[in-house]
Amino acid sequence: PVLVVDFGAQYAQLIARRVREAHVYSEIVPSSMPVSDMLAKRPAAIILSGGPSSVYEAGAPQVDPGLFGAGVPVFGICYGFQAMAVALAGEASHTGQREFGGTPITVAAGGGVLLRDLPAEQSVWMSHGDCVTAAPAGFVVTAASPGAPVAAFEDTGRRLAGVQFHPEVAHTPHGQEVLRRFLYDIAGIEPTWTSNNIIEEQVEAVRARVGSKRVLCALSGGVDSAVAAALVHRAVGDQLTCVFVDHGLLRAGEAEQVEKDYVAATGINLKVVDASEQFLGALAGVTDPEQKRKIVGREFIRVFERAAREIDAEGHVEYLVQGTLYPDVVESGGGTGTANIKSHHNVGGLPDDLQFELVEPLRTLFKDEVRQIGAALGLPEEIVMRHPFPGPGLSIRIIGAVDEERLAILRAADLIAREELTAAGLDRSVWQFPVVLLADVRSVGVQGDGRTYGHPIVLRPVSSDDAMTADWSRLPHELIAKISTRITNEVREINRVVVDVTSKPPGTIEWE
Ligand code: XMP
């Protein structure tokens, strides 16, 4: 792999994704990992990420100079670039000239390997207070900015290079090209990380692991479990059984989509459990968001356990497929105790006495890779490109108690919003489009000649890369108008449509 050494900013994941977009496999490791452990992973290259520290600060994470003597290509970015300069006896200092945001750089004649044939003047994304003031011996300086006399350097003989700017962000237009130059031309890596190779590798790995044993998977209707199951099915065929729990909190058409389209595309054994009565019974009268989440989680386990036992009675099941993604792995391994903002319902909370071994074929993948693999496995676009939908479903999009009638109102409004978004061709430009029913709020309206006293519906379209942060989507006013008109015309109980214009933070994406 290419190792991305995380110096403690959010950049490491983005760098890892960009490397993979260049079809090279990458993994994130903490900067506290000893160099010997890094080298034991036999890295094709090492990338030192940016970070919030200042190189000369007490306690700032250092780079062990031993890293550079091992013959492994190394690329430093921002803080990693400065740390690299210092470790190799160059110089970095606090010049007091900060650069933040889009910044022009001037490429030196030739541009070296990293910047050759790219525009001599170009904009890059900077975010630094310190800068490299002298490149280490043997390095060629290939670019400068007003605040960074050394903005890029390279020593192609030793296969070492670095940049002060952030090539991984979209605001650096030639950034991906710079990264490719490092990977292909300086480090000499072949771009072989493609969907088909990933599928082949994972299919082999699952076969080797599972042998002739039986495997179970809980399908949620979401992309991750759908792709994970399809991958495992490709590996072990009918040894896999999927369980889909319809908790009655799904949107219009969702259960059917899983039952028909998904099975048609994959040929997977699917057991559908209609448990809506059980869930709605348990949720009756409950208004507290955390209570709702806990109830759905608990009931899910009960239903799933029962289904699993039935399947197990037909033949012993040893493995459980989970659609865990790489960011979950990185974040839970990060060790930083993040506050529990919402308890996310997940199959991960299965009780110990079920005693399955986990099969997680997507553990090394990012969401966009999972989608590509889903497509390569032949899953329908409606499943592969689906927006994320929370496990507790519509229960946390009804503000107030949940019942059949309210679910029906929300489903109708939600379907209109989704239909219109799709008709406008904007599915891809929106990360997610929750529609929320304020079931305990009423407002006065007028329709025909009469007074109405109905409920508001909230439209919550957001754009995001990873759901950790989000911005409200600036949907065209015409589209919002159309959705509003249709909802108030077609859903009798709704007389008001509002748009949520809160980013995350401070709002979360879901209302509960
Ligand atoms: P929030 O509301 O925390 O949501 O900004 C972030 C993302 O997570 C989804 N979400 C969930 N997904 N189980 C899930 O599988 C859950 O309990 C859950 N709660 C929120 C939400 O839709 C958004 O994509």
Contact 366, 17 (CB under 8 A): yes
pLDDT digits (tens, 9 = 90+) for 438-464: 999 999 999 888 999 999 999 999 999
Q: Which atom of ligand 1 lies nearest, measured to the CA of 389?
A: 22
Nearest in space to 212 (alpha carbons), one of 319, 300, 295, 288: 319
List, for residues 15-68, the tens digit of each pLDDT value.
999 999 999 999 999 999 999 999 999 999 999 998 888 888 888 888 899 999
Cα–Cα distance measured from residue 16 to residue 48, given in angstroms and rounded to the nearest whole number: 11
- pLDDT given for residue 353 in this prediction: 67
- In CATH, what is the architecture of 2-186? 3-Layer(aba) Sandwich (3.40)
Mean pLDDT of 289-306: 92
pLDDT of residue 242: 96
Specify the residue with its C-alpha closest to ligand 1, atom 20.
390
| Half-sphere CA count of 37, side-chain side, radius 13 A | 8
If you measure from the C-alpha of residue 510 to the centroid of ligand 1, how many angstroms do you get, rounded to a whole number?
7
53 annotated as ligand-binding: no
Does the annotation mark 78 as catalytic?
Answer: yes
Helices (H), ranges, 120-220: 175-180, 195-210
The CA-atom distances, in angstroms, between 226 and each of 65, 313, 385, 505 are 45, 25, 11, 30
What is the helix (H) or strand (E) element at residue 289, kind and residue range?
Answer: helix 289-313
Query: pLDDT averaged over the chain?
Result: 92
Q: What is the pLDDT of residues 205-264, one digit of tens each?
A: 999 999 999 999 999 889 999 999 999 999 999 999 999 999 999 999 999 999 999 999
| Pocket lining: 391 vs ligand 1, CB cutoff 6 Å | yes
Both tokens of 354, joined, read 């079920």
pLDDT at res. 10: 72
504 close to ligand 1 (CB < 6 Angstrom): yes
Q: Identify which has the larger pLDDT, 309 or 151.
A: 151
The beta-strand segments (E) located in 341-482 are 357-359, 398-399, 435-438, 443-447, 450-459, 462-463, 471-472
| Active-site residue (options: 21, 99, 154, 168) | 168
pLDDT at 336: 34
| Nearest Cα to Cα of residue 49 among 74, 25, 72 | 74
Q: Which residue do the tokens 């492994």 mark?
A: 72
Domain ranges in the chain with CATH number 3.40.50.620: 195-384
DSSP summary character for residue 441:
-
Catalytic, 316? Answer no
- pLDDT, position 466: 79
Nearest to 197 by CA among 363, 442, 369: 369
Burial class of residue 43, CB neighbours in 10 A (0-12, 13-18, 19+): buried
Report CA dihedral (257, 261, 262, 266) to the nearest 10 degrees.
170
Please state, in angstroms and rounded to a whole number, the distance separating the CA atoms of residues 184 and 197.
18
What sign does the dihedral 11-13-16-17 (CA atoms) show? negative
* Percent helix, strand and coil across the chain, each to the nearest 5: 40, 25, 40
Q: Please write the tens of the pLDDT for every residue from 359-408.
A: 999 999 999 999 999 999 999 998 999 999 999 999 999 999 999 999 99
Query: Can you tell me the ipTM of this complex?
Result: 0.98
Q: Is the peptide bond before 43 cis (omega within 30 degrees of 0)?
A: no
Burial class (CB in 10 A: 0-12, 13-18, 19+), 504: middle
| pLDDT value of position 337 | 32
CATH-assigned architecture of domain 397-499: 2-Layer Sandwich (3.30)
Nearest Cα to Cα of residue 473 among 449, 422, 509: 509
For residue 258, the 8-state DSSP code is I
pLDDT band of 334, cuts 50, 70, 90? very low
CATH of domain 195-384: 3.40.50.620
Q: Is cis: bond before 505, omega within 30 of 0?
A: yes
Rounded to a whole number, what is the distance in angstroms from the first to the last CA of the chain?
A: 39
pLDDT at 413: 98
Identify the residue whose C-alpha is closest to ligand 1 atom 11.
390
Atom 21 of ligand 1, nearest CA residue: 390
pLDDT at 132 over 90: yes
Domain with CATH 3.40.50.880 in the chain: 2-186
Q: Which of 435, 510, 511, 512 to mutate to test the pocket of ligand 1 (most atoms within 8 A of CB)?
A: 510
Domain span(s) for CATH 3.30.300.10 in the chain? 397-499
